[in-house]
Every structure is written in C-alpha cells, then in structure tokens.
Chain A
Amino acid sequence: MNKLKLNYTSLSFLPILVCIPLGYQLINNIHFGGFKLFQEFLISAFNPKIDNEIIITVINRLNETIIIGFFSWLVSIIFGAIFGIISSNIFYKIFNIPNFFYRIIRFFLTIIRSIHEVVWGILLMQIYGINFSIGIIAICIPYIAVNSKVFAEQLETIDYKSFESINQINAPKLSSLLTIVWNPIINTFENFGLYRLECAIRSTVILGLFGIGGIGTSIFLSFQTLNFRELWTYLWSLAILIIISGLIFKKIKFNTTNKNLSIFFIAVFFITILFSFSCFLYFIFKNIENFNSVSSLFKSSSDLVLFDFLKLILETIILSLLSTGIAISLPPLVIGIFNNNSSKIFIKIFAFLLRLIPTPVILLTLLTFNNPSLSLAALTLGLHNAGITSKLLFTNLDSQDKRNYIAMKSLGISKKTSWLLGLFSQQAKSYLAYCAYRSDIIIRETAIVGVIGSVGLGWQLQESLSSFAWQEVTIVLIAYSSIAIIGELINGKIKNSLT
C-alpha cells in the first residue's frame, strides 16, 4: 500500500477534523428552547430599528468609538515606529550599542504583545475604574508592541550594503539612521499602518463590550436586553463605518514629495509624542494613590490549586488549537464546495459578518441555544478568524492567474477538482504561512471568549480580578504570556519553513 503523503493543499484541509470532537460536544449541549431567540436575532438583521432617537445614539456612540480608536491608533503607530527602530538591529549597528540591549527590548515588547488588549483593559479598569483614557491606554499598550514588531521586521529587510554605504560616508549617526530607515518606515505605514486603524476601531468595539464606552457598550446593552433590532442597527452602522474607512484608506497615498503634506505629518508626529507624554504624566499623577493596588499584587494570597490551574492552561491550549483548525480549514472547504459566482457573493457577505460581529457577541448569540463549553468558545473564535482568513484567501485567489484552472476544466475535470488543483494548490503554502501568523492572534484572543464563555485562563482572570486576588491575576497573566510567547515561537518556526 502506498504511504500517505501530506502536501500544503492537504495540510490546509486536514485541521477540519477538529470538527468531529467539537461537533459531538456541541450537539450534546444543544438546548432547543433558545432557537426562537436565535431566529429572532437572525430576522432582526433584515429589520434593524431606525428612528431619530437611535440615529442620534448611533452617531454619538460612533463618535466615541472613532475618537478612542483614532487616538489609540495614532499613538500606537507613532510609538510603534519608534520602538520598531530601537528594536531593530540596524539601530544597534549604527550606534555601536551591544546587542544585549536589543534582546532586552525585544523580550520586553514580546511580553507586552502577548497579552490581549481586552486583558489590559479589564486589568486597568479594575485598578483605575472605567475611564475614557483607559480604553486608549489599553489598546495602545499591546498595539505599540505589535506595531513595533512589524516595523522592526521591515527594517531588518534593509539591504545591508546600502546601510554600509551610508555608514561609510561618516555622517552624524542620527542622519545616517534617518536616511536608512525613512523609506521602510513610510512604506510600512502605507501598507500596514492604515489597516491598523481598522484594527484599533474593532478593538475599541470589543473593549466597549466590557464597558469602556462607544458603540461596543451599546451593542452589549442591547444584547443584554435582547433588543436585537437595536443591536443590528449598531452592527450595520459599524459595518458602514468599516466599509467607508476601508474605501478612504485605499485612496490615501502618503506622498513624500508633497512638502506641505510632509510638514503636516511631521507636525502631527511631534505633537502626538508631546501630547501622549503629557497625558501619560497627568494620568500617573492623578491616579498615584491607585498604585497601592498594583503594589498589593505581591501581597494578596492565591487560592489557585495547581491541578485546576494546569487544567485551565490545558483548556486554553486546546481552545487555541481547535479555533486555529477551524480558521485554517473552513474557508478553503466552503469556497471549494460552493464554487460558483452566486455562492461566492454569499460566502463573502457571511465572512464579512463574521469579521464584523465581535467575538463576544457571536458567543453570546450561540449561547442562546447551546450550553457554555470549550467547543462553543472554540467555534466562536474559529468562525471569527475564518472570516478573516477567508478574506485573505479570496483576495489571493481573485488576483491569481487562472490559466491552470481553465486548462484543467477544458480537459473535462470537474469544477471542484480544477479549483482545488488549478487554483488553491498554488495558494496553499502562502495561505498556511498567513494562518501560522493568525494563530498567534488566536492564542491571544482566547482571553476574550474565555471571559464570556467560562473557559480557560480568561475565565480565571475575570474571577480573580472580580475578587481582587492580585496574586492570582499575576499568575494567570504570566501563564497567558508564556503560552502566547511559546505559541509565537512555534508559529515563527512554521512560518519560516513556509516562506
């Protein structure tokens, strides 16, 4: 018998096997009483509430969301670029600083990045109370670290020879640094920075669900009161905001040859830095007495039993693996099976909704007819991320040369097989590489579904925070961070082998 050989195409579909244990648990947990509620939720999508009062609320809430999202984006992109420069090897080469410092900064940023903005948000809210600026700080902390990683990676692609040639001119070191990093920074900002604004708005919505304000809070309140028509008004208005911002981003081109525009951007850069520092100092001095709570981190006792704690860690890892499996395999499977133009439109809309609806709302919706379980949390996280991976897959497939696909079809091979071998097989490798990166984010997002769905460390974190058990909080955060860092290392290896 021939040995089974796995290739990138089959590896893209294999993870769908996670649906077997997942489906088994989900079917066992169904409670039919909630289906009516779920049906009502779906119908309301086509009949959102529209009146003067709600339109005014939507405008006000969207304003808050945009303000939090925009400021956290602006601060995180600027400081992300600065930290990106000081965590890239080019900086240390120019200034002849030992690599030791570079490793310390990178490690520090990795730890900060490993904790999701929701966790930062909940933590800061618990210490400082609900506050508009908490939302911005909670998003900024991990976003600065994420952005700095992207900027640093781009700076590391700088041709070493052009660095040598500038260095050899023996200009002041700051001039050499600026000349070398300028274009990679601008290019990264153009290709990645604007997309991060959309991410910041999504994060603001999720933090809103936890009470920070903006449209997220309204979504959560309308869900709690089961006012689905109102809920859909908020969701559709959020969709419009994301679509419009996407269209605007496509039009924006950072023209470095336009002098006035360049001066404007430089002014924004410096004003943001000054403003952020002054706000940060104001925040520190205003909340100085709250730092007692932070110092008590090491004083309070912990009731966490080791066995239970290890169980929670295991649950978090399983949750990540199951969600990643769905996020990888569901998009190619669905696109491959329903491979015609009308289905494609339907799948694209469905994927957009999965991206649009915040994971806690998807989870709460599914909870209407299913008991809380690890499988349900995994399904939620998997579906949301499948919405994101499918967007990438669609974009790549649409821009791909279709000659192989057409040639195979002309040979009489079925449409599905032609799609699989003529189209998808050429994308499978890069698709898997992106999924490896996505799974890093999934690990971090387990915190959100954990809090809502009573699963894993997320749930424990919520419990410990509610009871001000700071030592437990510290232990949970260390565990979270460790899982995320190990996951990132493994995914990095996978990604490198795929690219």
Chain B
Amino acid sequence: MNNTLLELKNISYKYKNDLILNKINLKINSGEKIALLGKSGSGKTTLISVLNGTIKPTQGEVKFFNKNFDELDRKHKRKITTIWQDLRLIEDLSAEQNVNCGLLAENNFYFAFKNLLNISSFKKAHKYMQLCRLHNSIYDKKIRKLSGGQKQRVAIARSLIQGSNILLADEPFNNLDPKSITTIKKLLLENVDKNNSKKSPKTALVALHRLDLLNDFDKVIGIRDGKIFFNIERNNLKKLHLDKIY
C-alpha cells in the first residue's frame, strides 16, 4: 500500500534573482517524524512555506494525499498545522483568543465572532495552554505583553488545539527552557486525545538548529543553499553529513 502522505517533485523557488529552493525531491510517509537541519538562510523556512501552501513554487509539484495542493479541499488542508519561526500571532488579541483561533477551522462564523467578543468558551484553549506550561495569569493578557517564551508556547498551543495530523514547525523550541522543551516536544510529536492517551500517529517535519533534540525523530534531512544534501535515518547520521551542511 502506498503510504506516501506528502511528495515534493522537482520543487524550485526563485525570489527575484535568487534561487532559494533548487530542484527538491522529497517523500514523507504517514507517521514519519523528520528533522530538517541547515544553517540560517539555507531554505528551511521557504521549504515549510511551500509545504503549507503559503508560497507557490516557481517550478515543480507539491502533492498531499496524492493530490496537488491547490486541489485539496478544506477538510484535507485542515490536517496540516504550522508553527512559524516568527510565531505569527495576532498581537491585539489575548493569549486565549489566539489559541482559540486554532479552532476556527472546525467551527462556524459565529464562533469567530464570539471569540473576538470574548464570549466563547475557552475551556479547550485553557487545557492546551496548561499542557504547554502556560500559567493561568497570562490567559487573558494581550500577546504584545507576553515574553518571548510565553508567545512561543501560545503558538504551540494554537497549533496543538487544531488537532492536525501533519505538523510543520520552524524552530518551535526557540525561547523555551530545557524542561519545557522535553514536555512540548512530546506533545508536538505524539498525537494525544483528551485523556492524554496516544491517537493516530502524527507526521512531523520540524526545522531545528539544536542537534541534541534529534533523538525523537526517525529521519534527518540536511539542506544547504536550497538543495537537499542528505535524507537519512537518524541512526545513520554522522559528523560527515553535518560537515556538508554547516
């Protein structure tokens, strides 16, 4: 049975005269957890943006569930969640309102309205905020008043509440203390239901800088100057590989 969830075929992306991604071919199978390594400016963020459909590649095809990204219906698109490097939270909304935004896809317009008026239920949002070790004193604080670490956790909570099966994350552990990283990494890579028990396997592509966080990943992809230099099992990763990309 074909287990391929996501496929990139000959993807290139050009911005002005710079070739940011250069003929990338990649297959991600359902349930795989992949770490994306590369130095700053190597094309990691652009690759994630191509995968979640935010930017269209100059050349090539992005296929999810064997369909072109543009052909995907909303139900399928909802299965993908992104944690951006720059978080992209709505500064004027409170932390709990931002987390609730993750529920917009599964609710109607009236929910969005109630969320903005602060009259929706924040029970689910609070649960995920708690899981992300956010203190309840900051739940109703506006994003602009939070610290970097708190904002990071809000963005993670917003992603978790979406309940998506595919996670695309760009350096999600920035600004977090070591203890939180362990907890949050577990949350991000393993799908959990209300009772904190495991659900269907989660597929994840996570851009990282820190090599000590690789232990929960199945595969490692190395990217440099917009090209994939290696795509290997984590256990096979050698210093030689890292020298190629750093």
- Please determine whether chains A and B interact with each other in the same assembly: yes
| Chain A interface (Cβ < 8 Å from any Cβ of B) | 159, 161-162, 164-166, 168-172, 174-176, 178-180, 182-184, 187, 256-257, 259, 262-263, 266
Contacts of B9 in A (CB 8 A): none
Taking a contact as CB atoms under 8 Å apart, the answer to whether A171 and B92 are in contact is no
Contact of B90 among A168, A170, A180, A262 (CB under 8 A): A180
Taking a contact as CB atoms under 8 Å apart, the answer to whether B54 and A175 are in contact is no
| Chain B interface (Cβ < 8 Å from any Cβ of A) | 52-54, 74, 77-78, 80-82, 84, 86, 88-93, 101-102, 104-105, 107-109, 111-113, 115-119, 140, 162
- Tell me, rounded to whole Å, the shortest Cβ–Cβ distance linking B56 to chain A: 13
Contacts of B115 in A (CB 8 A): 179
Taking a contact as CB atoms under 8 Å apart, the answer to whether B105 and A259 are in contact is no
Chain A residue nearest in CB terms to B106: A171
Contacts of B111 in A (CB 8 A): 175
Question: Bound state CA distance, A166 and B82, in angstroms?
Answer: 10
Contacts of B162 in A (CB 8 A): 169
Taking a contact as CB atoms under 8 Å apart, the answer to whether B112 and A171 are in contact is yes
Main secondary structure of the interface of A (DSSP, over half): helix
Question: Bound state CA distance, A368 and B238, in angstroms?
Answer: 95
Taking a contact as CB atoms under 8 Å apart, the answer to whether A165 and B92 are in contact is no
A-B contact count (CB 8 A): 86
Taking a contact as CB atoms under 8 Å apart, the answer to whether A178 and B84 are in contact is no
Contact of A178 among B52, B116, B140 (CB under 8 A): B116
Chain A residue nearest in CB terms to B93: A183
The answer to whether residues A162 and B88 also contact, given A174-B109, A176-B104, A183-B93 and a CB cut-off of 8 A, is yes
Question: Bound state CA distance, A178 and B100, in angstroms?
Answer: 14
Q: Give the top 4 A-B pairs by smallest Cβ distance, nearest first.
A: A171-B104, A165-B88, A183-B92, A175-B112
Question: Bound state CA distance, A187 and B118, in angstroms?
Answer: 17
Taking a contact as CB atoms under 8 Å apart, the answer to whether A166 and B118 are in contact is no
Taking a contact as CB atoms under 8 Å apart, the answer to whether A257 and B118 are in contact is yes
The answer to whether residues A162 and B90 also contact, given A175-B111, A262-B118 and a CB cut-off of 8 A, is yes
- Tell me, rounded to whole Å, the shortest Cβ–Cβ distance linking A258 to chain B: 9
| A-B contact list, 7 entries, CB within 8 Å | A159-B91, A166-B101, A175-B112, A182-B116, A184-B92, A187-B92, A262-B117
Seed contacts A169-B102, A182-B116; 18 additional CB < 8 Å A-B pairs: A159-B91, A164-B54, A165-B84, A168-B82, A170-B77, A172-B108, A175-B104, A175-B107, A175-B112, A176-B112, A180-B90, A183-B92, A256-B117, A257-B118, A257-B140, A259-B117, A262-B118, A263-B117
Question: Bound state CA distance, A168 and B54, in angstroms?
Answer: 7
Taking a contact as CB atoms under 8 Å apart, the answer to whether A256 and B105 are in contact is no
Question: Bound state CA distance, A272 and B48, in angstroms?
Answer: 45
Contacts of A178 in B (CB 8 A): 109, 112-113, 116
Contacts of A176 in B (CB 8 A): 104, 112
Contacts of A170 in B (CB 8 A): 74, 77-78, 105
Question: Bound state CA distance, A262 and B52, in angstroms?
Answer: 35
Taking a contact as CB atoms under 8 Å apart, the answer to whether A179 and B86 are in contact is no
Question: Bound state CA distance, A183 and B105, in angstroms?
Answer: 20
Taking a contact as CB atoms under 8 Å apart, the answer to whether A183 and B90 are in contact is yes
Taking a contact as CB atoms under 8 Å apart, the answer to whether A168 and B52 are in contact is yes
Contacts of A184 in B (CB 8 A): 92
Taking a contact as CB atoms under 8 Å apart, the answer to whether A162 and B104 are in contact is no
Question: Bound state CA distance, A184 and B88, in angstroms?
Answer: 16
Taking a contact as CB atoms under 8 Å apart, the answer to whether B92 and A259 are in contact is no
Chain A residue nearest in CB terms to B75: A170
Question: Bound state CA distance, A180 and B104, in angstroms?
Answer: 12
